């Protein structure tokens, strides 16, 4: 069943151009079907995760999908976010291409969420990458092509590093199945070669997750692509790459050096992202840099060992998944420099109010979910022994101040007294999408308690290595 959530959008992407009069509703219908599939497996996945062997070929030789609470949650998020950011427009050839690419992106993202096999993850990751190159170049401007080309070169170089990482793992263990790898990793991979493989995979998958040294593409692409695409890449794709890295870290490489690498790169990402955002003078690039900083916090959170780290990381990732697309949607009509935004919040009342709401949540003002996410990270860091953890906590606190400074500078400009009526009001579709995300945010802050419990359950499932192995390899098979 869950395999359809991956297959339907991929099939739909290629059927879409042939749909004729049904074109307008076909893509959203496919995404709704994916959402329904995710909901149909939801109760079972939350209660008891299960593995699906594709074509009845059992692991470790066959390909498996592993569906736990987090996988179901992210599959649902993929469908809903793609639906929210769907390129509604007149069915020209150009729009059809964009809709097809969005469907491919959705299918591949769902694949990343449920895949239980390292090589399949690589293939889905490449699918996501190719779809995102197309979407990034989709604005049609020369700068858009330049940014997309540079993104393509960086990303394919990094994918190759990831492939070499997979090669090293296969060379050592003779398998690419995650459960089987988890079984043999303590003997075969917990050594310098295994660590090298992890670092290669970290760099390779880190490109989409905006990891510190490989994120040069972020501000260029987000500034030149359509805001909808920036929202999709920053909000959705980065989270799926993050999820894959967490699975690797929990199942195959629960090593201190691996955690430390994640912690160090995450901390550097927070520092560089937030400071660059402070210097940025237009809204789009400010939001891109801030996104790098936010994902740095998620990396730091996932570096914390044990369940506390997974809970905190999931909270940060989900909060960013809701907040950043909304901010990019609001930035659609606020393209110019921040100075030029004077009074824009007075003219577009709802847009201004939503921007303030999301800015407050990003900074972490108490009743909003952003506060709880940061609190979880900081308490997790404080519980660890050692200077590096406390340094990371100090960096997060200091950079929160910087974050507040630049976001409130924008808010100040939005409500500055100004009479010239330059900026246009927001498009209804964009404002509605941002409004829905805002409602999600408010609902999240109202039901913070139950949400925290649900996250805790999911994190326990993600962190349970032995259960993962037992569910995928039921007979205790060790060799193929």
Partner 1 sequence: MNELTTVLLYVGAIGLLAIGIAGVLLSRHLFRIVLALSIAESGGNLLLVLTGFRWNAVAPIIEGAAQGTMVDPVPQAMVLTSIVIGVGVQALALAMAVRLRQAYGTLDIREIRARMEQDISDAADVVPPRSQQEPAGGRPLPPPSTAGLLTSKGSQA
- State the residues that interact with partner 1 by CB under 8 A: 119, 123, 126, 129-130, 133-134, 137, 140-143, 145-150, 152-153, 156-157, 160, 163-164, 166-167, 170-171, 174, 176, 220, 223-224, 279, 281-282, 284-285, 335-337, 340
Residue 335 and residue 284 in contact, taking contact as beta carbons nearer than 8 Å: yes
Burial class (CB in 10 A: 0-12, 13-18, 19+), 339: exposed
What does the angle CA 464 – CA 79 – CA 154 come to, to the nearest 5 degrees? 80
B/e letters for 200-226, b = 16+ CB within 10 Å, e = fewer, are bbbbbbbbbbbbbebbebbbbbbbbbb
**CB closer to partner 1 out of 36 and 160:** 160
Number of Cβ within a 10 Å radius of residue 448: 16
470-476: long-range pairs with CB below 8 Å, 24+: 471/49, 471/50, 471/51, 471/66, 471/179, 472/51, 472/59, 472/64, 472/66, 472/116, 472/177, 472/178, 472/179, 472/180, 473/59, 473/60, 473/179, 473/180, 473/183
Q: Kindly state the smallest distance separating residue 237's Cβ from partner 1, in Å.
A: 17
**CB closer to partner 1 out of 142 and 428:** 142
Residue 286 and residue 338 in contact, taking contact as beta carbons nearer than 8 Å: yes
Residue 191, SS3 per DSSP: coil
**CB closer to partner 1 out of 46 and 96:** 96
Report d(CA 179, CA 252) in Å as an integer.
8
Distances in whole angstroms, Cα of residue 228 to Cα of each of 116, 139, 160, 223, 446:
30, 10, 28, 11, 28
| Cα 61 off chain centre by | 29
Listed in sequence order, the residues at least 6 apart from 369 whose beta carbon sits closer than 8 Å to its beta carbon are 315, 318, 319, 322, 361, 441, 444, 445, 448, 451
**CB closer to partner 1 out of 334 and 389:** 334
Q: What H or E segment, with its residue span, contains residue 300? A: helix 283-303
Q: What are phi and psi of 247, to 5 degrees?
A: -60, -45
Upstream peptide bond of 206 is cis (omega within 30 degrees of 0)? no
């Amino acid at each position: 069943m869950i395999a359809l959530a991956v297959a339907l959008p991929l099939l739909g992407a290629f059927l879409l151009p042939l749909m004729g009069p049904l074109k307008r509703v076909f893509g959203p219908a496919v995404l709704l079907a994916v959402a329904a599939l995710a909901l149909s497996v939801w109760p079972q996945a939350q209660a008891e995760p299960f593995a699906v062997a594709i074509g009845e070929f059992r692991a470790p030789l066959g390909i498996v999908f592993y569906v736990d609470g987090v996988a179901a949650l992210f599959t649902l998020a993929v469908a809903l976010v793609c639906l929210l950011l769907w390129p509604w427009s007149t069915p020209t050839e150009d729009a059809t291409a964009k809709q097809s690419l969005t469907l491919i992106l959705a299918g591949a993202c769902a694949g990343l969420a449920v895949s239980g096999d390292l090589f399949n993850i690589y293939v889905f990751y490449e699918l996501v990458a190719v779809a995102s190159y197309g979407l990034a170049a989709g604005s049609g401007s020369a700068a858009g092509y330049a940014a997309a080309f540079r993104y393509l070169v960086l990303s394919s170089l990094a994918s190759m590093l990831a492939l070499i990482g997979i090669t090293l793992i296969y060379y050592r263990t003779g398998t690419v199945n995650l459960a089987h790898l988890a079984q043999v990793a303590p003997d075969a991979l917990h050594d310098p070669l295994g660590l090298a493989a992890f670092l290669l995979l970290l760099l390779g998958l880190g490109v989409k997750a905006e990891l510190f040294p490989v994120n040069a593409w972020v501000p260029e692409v987000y500034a030149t692509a359509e805001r909808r695409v920036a929202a999709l890449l920053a909000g959705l794709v980065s989270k799926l790459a993050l999820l894959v890295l967490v699975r690797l870290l929990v199942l195959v490489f629960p090593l201190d050096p691996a955690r430390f690498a994640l912690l160090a790169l995450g901390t550097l990402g927070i520092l560089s992202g937030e400071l660059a955002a402070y210097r940025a003078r237009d809204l789009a690039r400010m939001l891109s840099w801030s996104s790098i900083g936010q994902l740095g916090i998620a990396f730091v959170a996932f570096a914390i060992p044990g369940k506390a780290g997974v809970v905190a990381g999931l909270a940060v990732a989900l909060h960013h998944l809701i907040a950043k697309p909304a901010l990019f949607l609001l930035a659609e009509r606020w393209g110019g420099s921040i100075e030029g935004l004077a009074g824009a919040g007075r003219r577009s009342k709802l847009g201004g109010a939503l921007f303030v709401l999301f800015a407050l949540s990003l900074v972490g003002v108490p009743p909003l979910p952003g506060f709880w996410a940061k609190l979880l990270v900081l308490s997790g860091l404080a519980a660890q022994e050692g200077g590096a953890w406390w340094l990371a906590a100090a960096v997060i606190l200091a950079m929160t101040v910087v974050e507040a400074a630049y976001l409130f500078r924008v808010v100040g400009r939005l409500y500055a007294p100004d009479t010239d009526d330059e900026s246009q009001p927001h498009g209804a579709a964009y404002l509605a999408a941002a409004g829905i995300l805002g409602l999600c945010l408010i609902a999240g802050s109202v039901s913070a308690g139950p949400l925290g419990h649900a996250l805790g359950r999911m994190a326990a499932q993600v962190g349970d290595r032995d259960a993962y192995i037992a569910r995928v390899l039921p007979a205790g098979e060790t060799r193929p």
